[in-house]
Structure formats: structure tokens, C-alpha cells
Structure 1
Amino acid sequence: MPIKSKLIKGAAFSAISLALTAALSGCGPDNTSSKTVAPSVTVSQPVKSVITDWDGFTGRFEATDSVDVRSRVSGYLEKVAFQDGAIVKKGDLLFVIDSRSFQAAVVQAQGKLAQVRSQLALAEQEFARANVLIESKTIARSLYEQRLQARQAAQAEVLSAEGALTNARLDLEFTRITAPMSGRISRKLISEGNLVNGGNSSATLLTTIVSLDPIDIYFDIDEQSHLKYRRQANTAANQSQVRIALPGEVEPSMTGRMDFIDNRLDPSTGTLRQRARVSNKDLQLSPGQFGRVQFSSQAAYPALLLPDTAISVDATRKVVYVLNPQNKVEIRPVTLGKLHDGLREISSGLQEQDRVIVDGLQRVRAGDTATAEDRVVAQAAKTPETQGAPL
């Protein structure tokens, strides 16, 4: 009985095993026939464009010319003849100093001149008579020389009196203080009725004037940039031109031309002062404003550009993923440059015909086979010469 029971149980187990095997074998053909689907990625060839590198520096506008307006004579201020902050032209009346004492000085100098001229006329007559008498030896030689000396002294007195009259007239003229140059004037620094000191190093400062058109912008470049520009000086074709963006502007709105480079670096900061001159016909710029100066040290050159999304990091290097002719994924180490029109410059490591994966990087690895969809990468701006932003 036990043996028979074991046989029945063994037969039942065998039947169940055969049924399970048949069931599993019925599903087998579908699994073994399935294949791995190749991932789909988007590829694009690099954009080839002619670009210009622009380095950015912060600068400050300063007046090309400026002047401190002071009086050449002392006296009481009688009139202020301008509006604070107005635009003035050369020769415009600014201040008037009480001129009555200076007018009196002119009259006094005129009287002195008339007096010495009368004395000169008398000396001329006496010398003329002595000149006739000396020829006939009627007068002594010493008397003749006295008349000659008196004539020369009278001539000197006339010259001195004429100089004094000229000086008095100049002082009278200086009581009307005019603009020595065109530009924007500051506020008055002294009011009517105050005593103005003039004619010396401690003369009273009355106001200031600054020129506006053209205007200069000063900026400092670092030593590394200075050395780079020196190396590129022989091949630079655009090094004298700068572009300027004002605060709040995305793109530069004006241009200028370099006209000054300092003769040494500042030892405390390691920077070199430079200056560019800018046209300011609409007078929108004022001394003291800040501006962003973009400076190019070399001629435009061809370059390959890619979007930043196509660039990955492999350990410590920058890489891009490309598809070879067999649609195999390869890794290419690259050297990056600056941003141009929203695209990154690839300085080395890439060829113009390479197909770079720009979308779907997370779905592939090196050596994988991928299905490629081509796309043309478009630049964000119309012109290729835009600000190069560092990486």
C-alpha cells in the first residue's frame, strides 16, 4: 500500500510538471523574438560663423575739457547772469563785478597818459632846438645830452602810462566774467553782494563748466588682458574701436574710438588706464556716468558654435557626444570659448561636419547605437558680432 501511494503521487507530480512546462513554452517564442529598440536623439552640425571677441570693462565718463571759473579782479559781485545747470556757449556773460572803481582807474590812467604825452611834446621841441644849436656849436655838448636824456625819459614815461591805461582797461573788462568754453555750467557758488577775491592763487571759485561733446570714457584693464593685447597687437584690426552699453542696456548703443593708453600700470591695482572718445551730440551722456566698455583686440575670425545644452562634463573635462557614420555614439573632448548670440564657441575638438547630439543625451552612452533626427541650430541674434561672455 505505501508503494502504490508513492507511485500515484509521483505520477501526479509529473503530470503537473508537464503542464507547467507546456504553459511556459507557449509564451517562449514571443520573448525570444523581441529586440532592443535604439534610443532616439536629435543631432545637429555646429554653426559656422564669423565672430568677433569683445572683452567687457566698466568705465566712467569724464568731460574732455573742464574749467573752474574764477575772477581776475577783486570786487563785489553785482550780478549772476546764467541759470544753474544751463548749457552755455563760449563768450556768454556769467558774472558782473562792480566796475565803478575800475572805470575811475581807467580815467586816471588816461589823464596820466595825457600828462606824459604833453611832457614828451615839450621834450621833443627842446631836443629839436638843441640839435640845431649843437651843429653851430652854440650850446655846450653837456646841455645837448641833457635835452636828449629828457626826451628819452619822456618817451619812457609815455610807454609806461600807455601800459597802465591798457592794464586799467583790462581790469575793467575783467569785471564782466564770460564763459571761457562751451558746455554745461554748474550752479553759482557765490551770490550777489559778496566780495570776490581775484587775480591770485586763492581767487574765489565762482562755478565750473564741463564740455559735453565729445565726451571721454576711462576704463581700466587688468594685466593679463594687457599682455594679451600686446601679443595680438600685430594682427589686431579693430583694436581702436570700442562699443559702449549704458546701465540697463542689453546691447551696446554707441561706439567710440581709443585715443589714450597710460604709460604704466597702476602698481596698487595691477591695471592700466585707457580712454575712448565718444560722440555726444544729443547730450544724453554726462560726466560721472558709468558705462560698460566692450573692447576687441583682434580681427573677426571663423568659429564653430553650439548650444550650451549640447555640452557635458566628463570628470574634469568638457565633452560633446557625436554620432559617427554608423550612428554609434562617441565622446569628443572640447575646448570652449565665449558665448556669441547665445551659442558657445568651440575652440578645438570638433569638426564642421560632425553630428553633435543636442537633445536626448540622457538616453545614450558612449558606444550605443542611436536613431538620429537632424535639426539646424539657429543663432539667437542677427549679427554674429556680439558680446563674448566668459565661460
Structure 2
Amino acid sequence: MRGAGFAAALMLATFVAGCGQGDGQKAAAPPPPAVTVAKPEQRTVSDYDEYVGRFTAVDSVEVRARVSGYLDSIDFKDGQMVKQGDLLFTIDKRSFQIALDQAQANLTQARSNVTFTEADLKRAQQLVTDKSITEQLFEQRSQAYRNAQASVAAADAAVRQAQLDVQFTELRAPIAGRIGDRRVSPGNLVTGGTTGNTTLLATIVSENPIHFEFTFDEASYLRYQRMATHGDDIASRGRGPGVDVALKLIDDKDFAHQGHMDFVDNVIDPSTGTIRGRAVFANANGMFTPGMFARIRVPASPPYQALLVPDAAIGTEQARKYVLTVNAGNTVVPKYVTLGQVLPGDLRVIKEGLGADDKVIVDGLMRARPGIKVTPQEKTAQAQKK
């Protein structure tokens, strides 16, 4: 009996001790999670369209000879920069100099004949007055004088043509730019002329400034045309420089190169439904090369006041985009928004769905859920580093 009573007393003591320990370790409710909030930044921005295009030279010339002959010398290095008027090629000019000397001799002979026929005509004028010669003989001498004058004109033209042929034996750069490699070596026969299969000697392309050509669709063209009614014509056709544009090379992180539009074509290609546009950029350092690809950014709207939030604060719910905001009661409330472009600094333009006084959660998004209470800490809206 004494053993049974001791066991019962031990169980009761254990039960009472267990109940006391549970009451002492009862956990308190956790505090609301801390998040960082910021009001949207307000800024004047413009919408932009981006297109892929290619650089083209403002001027491009194929160097071909105007006279045929054997190539005597090459006076440039392949790929060098040349100035307008620099000597590039020389064709053997000996045969052309001989032709010039012959033409000058013929001109001297023709002028001598004019002097003789002119004196003969003056004598005939006195003789026909005295009736010493017939009218027919006087007309013959007049005709001889006129023929001599015509011979002088023809000989003079032959001299000028021979002088041009001698001049054409020296091929000079018609434009300033970078010349390619020579296509013909000295000693080869060069076929010249203005028609037929002439010999291509080299090519020259200008570098500064340089054009950038791209195409855009019909819908974009209509949008630009409507902008033009407000004085924002994309190309300002015939009215000075067009709108400012920016360009990014394939290894650039941002649109760092500035230029302006200078041309939009006058027809839409019916096969593609696109129209060709062109911008011009300074290229003093020779960074841009004809044929190089790049991306161009073109203004697509007049400037307007926009709200911006860090792009990292944007969430996705199926096809909809949203941001998490905190209301006056510190409760998380999602707001569905319409997005615009991303600006430098990873700031996203919000076109619809957000107010200027809304407090957007920009940090601590993993701790925030719609409908829960949070502890907001305010700071200025800025891009979050990735």
C-alpha cells in the first residue's frame, strides 16, 4: 500500500511540473516584417522606339581610270586615309604626251592658215571693189577664211582633249575618306573610259560624318506623322536637322552616341510594309565603319510627366504586372500597372495604375504578401542593384 501511494504522488508531481513548464514557454506573436518603401519618382520623359540598322558611308566612290594604258605607279598604302586631290595612281603618260604635242602642232598650223586666208580675203575685198576679180572668186576666198577659222576651233578642241587625257593619267582622290586595297598592281593594262567594262582600281568611303540606315513599320510611321503635326517631324524634311536620336553598338551597355535624323524615304515598300529612315552621326575617331550593325533609339512621343519605380519592384502575375504598395494601415496592397520603357538606372516608367503618393515596396519583397501587416521604412525611389 505504501508503494502504490508513492507512485501516485510521483505521477501527480510530474503532471504539475509539466503544466508549469508549458505555461512559462508560451511564445509571443512575431512582429510585422520590415520593408523599404518609396514614393514613385516624377520625371519628364519621352517614349522611344528601338530599331536595328546598319552604318553606310555618306560618300562612296569607285576609282576607275578615264583613259586606257599601263599602270605606272601606286601612290598610297592600302587602307590609309586620303584627302581630296591626293594622287592615287599614275598611268604611263608618254603616248598621251605625244598626242598632245601633235595636237598643239596642228593648232599652230591651223592658226597660220587663218592668218594667210585673212590677208588674202582683205586683198580680195579691194579687188572686188575695183571689179578686178569676180564675185565668185571673192566668195571662194571668204569661204577659205571661214574654213580656216573652223580648223583652228577644231584643233584647239583637240589640244584641250589631249591635255585632259594627259591629266587623266594621274588618278586623284575625288573625296576625302579611307581607301581600300589596290585591285591592280603596277605593270598591268588598265581599261579606261566612261562606258563599257572599265577596270576597278580601288574604292574610297567617307567616314566623318556617317549615315545609319534602318527601317520601321507602317504603324510607327503613322505615329511619327501625327507627331509632325505638333512640330516634332522625325526628319524635319527640308526644315533643318531632324529629331535627336541615340545609338548603341553591340558591345555598348547604353545608348551613348548622339546624332539626329536627316532623311525618311518617300514611299513604303509594298513587299515588307516598312519605310526607310536615316540618321547622321559624327565619327571623328573612326569608331563607326560602313556595314556595322547597331541599335538606334528614336523618340516615339512628345515629352510628358511620368512616374518611375525601380524595375526590380515590378512583379508578374500571369499576363499582368503589379507593384506592392503599403496603405495607411501598413497593409500590403497590390496594384496592377501598365508599364512603359526602362530608363538608365533601371527605372521603369509606369503609365497607368499608380499614384504619385503611393508607397511602393522597393526592398524586402520576399517578406511581403498581399494583405499582411508590415513595418515600412521610407526612402527615395532609386534603382536596386542587381
TM > 0.5 fold call: yes
Question: Per-residue CA shift, 1:251-288, capped at 9, x if unaligned?
Answer: 23321121111122233333221111111222232222
**Normalising by structure 1, what TM-score?**
0.84
Aligned with 1:331 (options 324, 329, 334): 334
Tell me if structure 2 keeps the 8 A contact 1:238–1:298. Answer: no
Give, as a single letter, the amino acid of the residue that structure 2 aligns with 1:282: N
The 1:310/1:208 distance shift into structure 2, 3 A limit, reads closer
Q: Does 1:321 align with 2:335?
A: no
Shift of 1:123: 0.9
Question: Per-residue CA shift, 1:175-227, capped at 9, x if unaligned?
Answer: 11111121111111111111111113222111111111111111122333323
Partner secondary structure for residue 49 of structure 1: strand
**Normalising by structure 2, what TM-score?**
0.85
Aligned with 2:194 (options 172, 187, 200): 200
Q: Does 1:215 align with 2:219?
A: no
Give, as a single letter, the amino acid of the residue that structure 2 aligns with 1:115: Q
2:65 maps to 71
Q: How does 1:274-313 map to 2 (within 5 A)?
A: 274-313=277-316
Distance 2:329 2:384 in 1: 32
Structure 1 residues 230-239 or 193-202, which shifts more? 230-239
Partner secondary structure for residue 228 of structure 2: coil
Tell me if structure 1 keeps the 8 A contact 2:121–2:142. Answer: yes
Partner secondary structure for residue 73 of structure 1: coil
Structure 1 residues 359-368 or 44-53, which shifts more? 359-368
2:161 maps to 167
Aligned with 2:346 (options 342, 349, 358): 342
The runs of 5 or more residues in structure 1 that have no matched partner are 1-14, 382-391
Give, as a single letter, the amino acid of the residue that structure 1 aligns with 2:63: V
The 1:346/1:194 distance shift into structure 2, 3 A limit, reads same
Structure 1 residues 89-98 or 35-44, which shifts more? 35-44
Q: Does 1:228 align with 2:223?
A: yes
User: How well do the aligned residues superpose, as a CA RMSD in angstroms?
Assistant: 3.0
Shift of 1:130: 0.9
Distance 1:35 1:181 in 2: 82
The runs of 5 or more residues in structure 2 that have no matched partner are 1-8, 235-242
Distance 2:170 2:319 in 1: 74
Give, as a single letter, the amino acid of the residue that structure 1 aligns with 2:167: E
Distance 1:34 1:78 in 2: 100
Distance 2:367 2:77 in 1: 72
Tell me if structure 2 keeps the 8 A contact 1:236–1:297. Answer: no
Distance 1:232 1:118 in 2: 73
Shift of 1:334: 1.3
The 1:314/1:286 distance shift into structure 2, 3 A limit, reads closer
Tell me if structure 2 keeps the 8 A contact 1:94–1:178. Answer: yes
Tell me if structure 1 keeps the 8 A contact 2:263–2:279. Answer: yes
Question: Which structure: larger Rg?
Answer: 1
Tell me if structure 2 keeps the 8 A contact 1:236–1:299. Answer: no
2:115 maps to 121
